[in-house]
Amino acid sequence: MPKKSSAKPVPQPGSSDFIVVSNRLPVDRVSSEDSDAGWRRSPGGLVTALAPVMASRDGAWVGWHGAPDEVLEPFHHENMDLIPVALSADELELYYEGFSNSTLWPLYHDVIAPPEFHRTWWDAYRTVNQRFAEAAAGAAAQGATVWVQDYQLQLVPRLLRRLRPDLRIGFFNHIPFPPPEIFAQLPWRREIISGLLDADLIGFQRASDTANFLRSARRFVGAGVKAPRVQLKDDDGNPAHIAQAAPFPISIDVAQIQELAARPDVIARAKQIREDLGNPKTILLGVDRLDYTKGITHRLKAYGELLTDGTLTVEDAALIQVASPSREGVESYRLLRDEVDGMVGRLNGQFDTIQNTAVRYLHHSYPVEEMVALYLAADVMLVTALRDGMNLVAKEYVAARASNTGALVLSEFAGAADQLKSALLVNPHDIDGLKATIMRAVHLPRTEAARRMRAMRRQIVTHDVQRWSEDFLSTLQNGTRQE
């Protein structure tokens, strides 16, 4: 078992004024003996945004610690009290890989892959959500604020309200919320909507997601909707709890990306990447989890046709595709990996020369320093998601381009398209349109590229991840949005 930090006593029940509840704790285990208590902070914008709030408000974070069939006591790490929730291997298979990622994930992403509906998965989802709610209720001080994160925990607001009616509860959905015509397929649609509506504030990435949720609340539980407020009725038909639902588009740690993009070693690494590829005129870049929602196969198809047409050549252009492993225990993801591997192999077999490679395919994750070097090296960023709650890679690319060079090809089905309106927007299902947009990006005049990038950078710099968390928490506390 990892060592406990002696810097602060073990978290005490009922002592936390601010609690975040998410599927995973914001730490990863490390084997190094020098590391603080055997843990290190996880990378990611959510942790970055909430760490200062944790430090200033006696915060605690409730989540699974990453190892099945292991029970850990609460511990303290880097100004955060951490409350581990134990999950068995069976629960991970049923609640996480099953209901969360084989039922809800495809359903909420417009049924790009067919969702599966199994009662055993649903039973496990309810059981695990109850455990998370009990852990949060036990850690919370009187009148505390609890912020629940994402689709794995949609029942927690109602379960927590029943345990602790004194709490102020927020929920944020990081992925899309489907229209009611799709959501209607879920056998447990009423339970999900009711679970969310016991939060005081429900946040979504896009205005369209918020509208979809409000329509479902009206249709499936008979809620009274006068946006942004949603009113539930009790069993006797009398007005009961009132929630708010509103869009709060998440962003990135802009300062971190900008700092890395200005570092000499990162700049040198970007130059080395170009040299390693033979200094082509154009480097195109895709960075995704290997997920069927990301449109990787559409991107490869369009790029392959451009090579076949002779519109692009491997002497002049190279595509780097980073596809980090994802949910490899789920069958649809294994099939996607086989498909992408096959497409890359065929393209390279057909178009590679001794000096040039058509697709440099990288099926693993990279530290943020390497990612920023890739952003600096790439002339064109390709974000071709078929459906995406936000897509922070698009925002990171823009934040890294301090020179106001480069072009962003961005799917209109990614949440980022609502903020990055100066990107070259595209429908990735339209392969001819995608090809034309890629070529427009390749040949984009410098003055137009600079104008577009400046506009996107202004938006991101003024709407970073810290502002996102401040906006949400301010609205949760005060009941009205701060503009």
The Cα–Cα gap between 269 and 373 comes to: 6
Please identify which of the residues 200, 253, 388, 464 carries the catalytic annotation: 388
Residue 364 falls in the annotated catalytic set: no
Question: Which residues 6+ apart lie within 8 Å of 217 measured at CB?
Answer: 193, 197, 223, 225, 230, 245
Residue reference for tokens 């090579």: 307
- Which element (helix H / strand E) includes 28? strand 27-29
The Cα–Cα gap between 65 and 471 comes to: 28
Q: Rg of the Cα trace of the chain?
A: 23
Q: How far is CA 269 from the centre of its chain?
A: 27
**Could you give the 3-state DSSP secondary structure of residue 180?**
helix
Please identify which of the residues 36, 174, 363, 418 carries the catalytic annotation: 174
The Cα–Cα gap between 355 and 357 comes to: 7
Residue 77 falls in the annotated catalytic set: no
Q: Does residue 70 contact residue 97 with C-beta atoms inside 8 Å?
A: no
The Cα–Cα gap between 22 and 153 comes to: 7
What does the chain come to in residues? 483
72 burial via Cβ count (<10 Å: 0-12, 13-18, 19+): middle
Active site residues: 174, 388
